[in-house]
Amino acid sequence: GLLGKLRLNFNGLLDRLRTDQLLEAAGALLERRLGEVIELNGDGLEALESTNGLMGNIKRVQDEGEALKPYVFVQAKQGNWEVIYDPR
């Protein structure tokens, strides 16, 4: 393969890129996020009425369990995206 032709030692390359540290950090982040999701399981999620999102406040319709989120409308014009509506 290409790595063989370039005489690269794949494991050595991974070591130099410090992928072990990257994977450990990603694993720690995933464990924290899973813990947050588990805490919201059951009544915790049902009791959540609103939370901050990237574009503003997200509200939940309690009896339906649906989320009401802010949104942006964009339209393609002459090869570019133009924002038509931005709630911010």
Q: How far is CA 48 from CA 35, 42, 55, 61, 74, in A?
A: 16, 11, 18, 10, 30
Q: What is the pTM of this model?
A: 0.40
Q: pLDDT tens digits for 23-66?
A: 788 878 777 777 666 665 556 667 778 888 888 888 988 888 78
For residue 73, the surrounding DSSP H or E stretch is strand 73-77
Rounded Cα distance, 44 and 34, in Å: 14
* pLDDT band (50, 70, 90) for residue 5: low
Domain containing 78 equals 2-85
Rounded Cα distance, 63 and 47, in Å: 11
Domain total of the chain: 1
